[in-house]
Amino acid sequence: MNGGIVPCRSARRLYMEKYYRQYDTCRQNEKPFCSNACPFHVDVLDFQSRMENNNYNAAYKTFRNAVGFPDIVAAICPEYCASVCPRGDLDQAVQLNLLEKTCVARATKKEPTDYNVPVKDRKIAVIGAGISGLACALRLTQKKYDVTIYEKTDRLGGKLWDLLPPELFLEEIRRQLQFEKYTLRLHTEVESIKEIRNEGFEAIYIATGKDGFDFHALNGGNGHHRMEEEIAVFAGGSLTGKDPMGALADGLDMAGAIEVFLKTGKREYPEAAAPCRAVADPDKLKKTDAVIPGDSGLFTDEEAAAEARRCIRCQCDACMQYCDVCAYHNKWPMRIRDDIMATVSFSTSPSIIKKTPAKRLMNTCTQCGLCDEVCPENIEIGGMLLEARRSLHKQGTQPGAYHQFWLRDMEFTNSEFAALVRKAPGQEQCTYAFFPGCQLGAADPDYTYAPYKWLLSQRGDTGLLLRCCGVPAEWAGSEELHGREIAALHRDWEQLGKPVMILACPACRKHLMEYLPEIETISLYEVLDQWGYGPNEKGSALSEEERPDENQLAETYSIFDPCTARHVASMEQAVRNLANQSGVILEELPKGDMHGCCGYGGNVSAANADYAAFVAQSRSRLSENPYITYCINCRDIFKEEGKQVLHILDLLFGIKDADGTLPSLSERRRNRMNLKEKLLKEIWGEEMESRPKQSRYKLKFGAEILEKMNRNKILEEDVRDVIEFCEATKRRTYDPEKNAYSGYRESGNITYWAEYRLQGEEYEILNAYTHRMKIKLEGVWNGRKTNIDL
């Protein structure tokens, strides 16, 4: 048993550090295959998005920022990206170069921006006015460095004269350099660095072209750079074997290397692109024929948009696609990490309130575990969020109101009013014990009573354990409370004689496997399947007449596997076998069990009701088919969303809602007590001794008030406590127009309010709500300023 060990604060920091470091391998910023293969590393994702919307000016700006001379690059680019495009193996690579040509032809705002940047008193020489030297000069002059270009011939462009019409590239060079100041020295051949040493240059870029003189920069032993006394000499472009596109990109990169040297004194040659770690989503790869342009050779607006849409935007975005926290908050994992670390760090100081941005966020994770499964680096976003909850709880800064209802619900379930630990009637030992979990009997006592009665008919020594597994305490981040609950559950198991536990709740099964691995478990559904449950079997809980009317069943259902049952093949298959035996037709969900939680996990609804609804709606839309599930929480969540859904036990045991509505929160508590009472009376022949003390206050609730109370996690007893307190203390306000009283009472981290009036012997409830503010009365007592909690 490992549930009772609570790490110390230093261990807690180590845990958070472990989760922080796992992001070191995150592929969030990994370039797609095309960008990685491109020597300019064009932001293709942004470019394609602009082109899809025919926003040519914005696409042009993205393109120009990467390549320096967009018209030249579009004209001579050999399209390196085509060889790595995932579409190449399916139909045809995205025609990115044709999109570039369309972009530069259709953009109407091609003038560069004239930035008002202070001039820098640092001098750089560029030897060679070919495409690489000009690219280097462009970047440096844009940063307002003092640049001198030396060219031994009488013209700019170098090899571009052999590749393009001069009117194209000369106009492009003029356009991009029109606002920049530089010195151009044509007919000036530099044969030695000594010739220009006295010009005051701090760095020199050698771009003399293929077979040109390298001024010994390529033999310096430090890559393509060396020091000539105090001058840093860099070499690149075609001189180093690059093709024209590589040479142009080299010039841009060398400008960055020169600037680093000028600022830090470090001489570093730009490193080659690392192997691409991007991920192509196979679900996005649908055969789509390449768009063929018209006679002009360029795309029309419709054609450009269609071709841009063929791009599947290769990037590692599984987290954004599958993780509800990332999708709802529109935050990538590293942003979530940073928000969490800021919150946990600043929460140590209660005075810093506004610098804890993620308290609500970290309490919205449903703990479905899908994030690390879909992540190629197995980064556990959910694990970090849960660890952050523990850290806040340890610091005393975890918002208690987020989990108060669920912890009280767990406390009630494990109280004398609802909990039960019994061996089978007349048995001294239990081979098996049925553990239905806390919510099954709360939804309807028959969900527990009927299966247990059948289990007894098959194995007369099957015991029973009614209690909560303790997972609400874990989700709240309270390790001390969770440890106590795990220890209590372990004692109950030992009291039953250490039987095999038959679990109806997949979440309980997962929780026990993690914290009580010594307990052997099997799901109720595997038992029903393996032990041969059937409507005509001797000892079955149902007669043929009691089974659901097959004519009332939908034609086709989809099984919704709870997130806590993911990859538990034996449980998943057992449920499908049972459903098939019940006569329903099944159709699998599009991605099987690779989906997130229904919205119940993590007890997130109190922290963020909108998020819980977002998750529930997302799961409801996975299929138009009605669902069959085997988690009562999933059943209730979907039913609340209006989704047609059955629990597998509805099919097997004919459990039907009396009026088709879900029980209220207070009714769920009464259901637990009624279940215990029914089991004691009908299985063990005993009367239930413990019931909560009855109040003399009789309350009357309207349907709208009850619905609001359920939504806000307010029990009938919470309202009754407010009225008892207000009536006893007379601390209330009276509204003569309504003939009604209003009052409040604090309970734990929540303040409950009620508006009510007396009608005969009943108190009619007009309104009920809560907040987390504490109310203080400030005044002077015996000459001293005093604050009084009310």
Query: For residue range 143-190, what is the model confidence (pLDDT) as tens digits?
Result: 999 999 999 999 999 999 999 999 999 999 999 999 999 999 999 999
70 shares its domain with 95: yes
What is the residue-averaged pLDDT of the chain? 90
515 shares its domain with 578: yes
In this structure, are strands 500-503 and 521-523 parallel, antiparallel, or unpaired?
parallel
Residue 710, domain member (yes or no): yes
CA torsion through residues 35, 38, 43, 49, sign: negative
State which H helix or E strand residue 125 sits in.
Answer: strand 123-127
The token pair that represents 605 in the structure block: 């609804």
Distances (CA, A) of 125 to 119, 246, 666, 703: 16, 21, 81, 82
3-state secondary structure at position 111: coil
Q: Which of 127-131, 393-397, 551-555, 714-718 has the lowest mean pLDDT?
A: 551-555
Q: Which domain holds residue 624?
A: 404-675
328 shares its domain with 424: no
83 shares its domain with 194: no
Q: What is the pLDDT of residues 693-743, one digit of tens each?
A: 888 899 999 999 999 999 999 999 999 999 999 999 999 999 999 999 999
Q: Are 599 and 637 in contact (CB under 8 A)?
A: yes
Q: What is the pLDDT of residues 372-382, one digit of tens each?
A: 999 999 999 99
- The DSSP 8-state label assigned to residue 113 in this structure reads P
CATH for 724:
3.30.2310
The residue from 290, 310, 330 where one domain ends is 310
The token pair that represents 474 in the structure block: 């874990």
Q: What is the pLDDT of residues 486-530, one digit of tens each?
A: 999 999 999 999 999 999 999 999 999 999 999 999 999 999 999
Q: Which of 697, 703, 700, 705 is nearest to 721 (CA)?
A: 697
Kindly indicate the confidence band of residue 9, based on its pLDDT and cuts at 50, 70 and 90.
Answer: low
Q: Are 236 and 254 in contact (CB under 8 A)?
A: yes
The residue from 398, 427, 447 where one domain ends is 398
422 shares its domain with 510: yes
Q: What is the pLDDT of residues 405-446, one digit of tens each?
A: 999 999 999 999 999 999 999 999 999 999 999 999 999 999
Q: What is the pLDDT of residues 729-772, one digit of tens each?
A: 999 999 999 999 999 999 999 999 999 999 988 999 999 999 88
* Pairwise pLDDT comparison (531 vs 781), residue with the higher score: 531
Residue 686, domain member (yes or no): no
Residue 691, domain member (yes or no): no
> What's the confidence (pLDDT) of residue 596?
94
430 shares its domain with 392: no
Exposed e or buried b per residue across 258-268, where buried means at least 16 C-beta atoms within 10 angstroms of its C-beta: bbebbeeeebe
Burial class (CB in 10 A: 0-12, 13-18, 19+), 553: middle
Q: Which of 263, 390, 550, 491 is nearest to 6 (CA)?
A: 390
The residue from 365, 398, 431 where one domain ends is 398
The token pair that represents 683 in the structure block: 């299985």
Q: What is the pLDDT of residues 83-130, one digit of tens each?
A: 999 999 899 999 999 999 999 999 999 999 888 889 999 999 999 999
- Across 49-151, where does the E strand assignment appear? 123-127, 146-150
Task: Tell me how far apart the alpha carbons of residues 208 and 133 are, in angstroms, rounded to a whole number.
Answer: 8
Residue 114, domain member (yes or no): no
Residue 6, domain member (yes or no): no
Q: What is the pLDDT of residues 210-262, one digit of tens each?
A: 999 988 888 655 557 778 778 899 999 999 999 999 999 999 999 999 999 99
Residue 487, domain member (yes or no): yes
569's CB contacts (< 8 A; 6+ apart) are none
In this predicted structure, the answer to whether residue 7 has a pLDDT above a threshold of 70 is: no
Kindly indicate the confidence band of residue 777, based on its pLDDT and cuts at 50, 70 and 90.
Answer: low
Burial class (CB in 10 A: 0-12, 13-18, 19+), 148: buried
Residue 786, domain member (yes or no): no
φ, ψ of residue 359 to 5 degrees: the values are -60, -45
Tell how far CA 562 is from the center of its chain.
Answer: 18
577 shares its domain with 623: yes
In this predicted structure, the answer to whether residue 783 has a pLDDT above a threshold of 70 is: no
Burial class (CB in 10 A: 0-12, 13-18, 19+), 763: buried
416 shares its domain with 369: no
469 shares its domain with 539: yes
Tell how far CA 725 is from the center of its chain.
Answer: 43
Query: Model pTM?
Result: 0.83
Task: Tell me how far apart the alpha carbons of residues 67 and 80 are, in angstroms, rounded to a whole number.
Answer: 14
Q: Could you give the number of structural domains in the chain?
A: 5
62 shares its domain with 141: no
> What's the confidence (pLDDT) of residue 538?
39
Q: Are 281 and 315 in contact (CB under 8 A)?
A: no
Task: Tell me how far apart the alpha carbons of residues 533 and 550 are, in angstroms, rounded to a whole number.
Answer: 18
Task: Tell me how far apart the alpha carbons of residues 218 and 222 are, in angstroms, rounded to a whole number.
Answer: 8
Residue 273, domain member (yes or no): no
> What's the confidence (pLDDT) of residue 690?
82
506 shares its domain with 585: yes
100 shares its domain with 178: no
> What's the confidence (pLDDT) of residue 228?
78
CATH for 214:
3.40.50.720
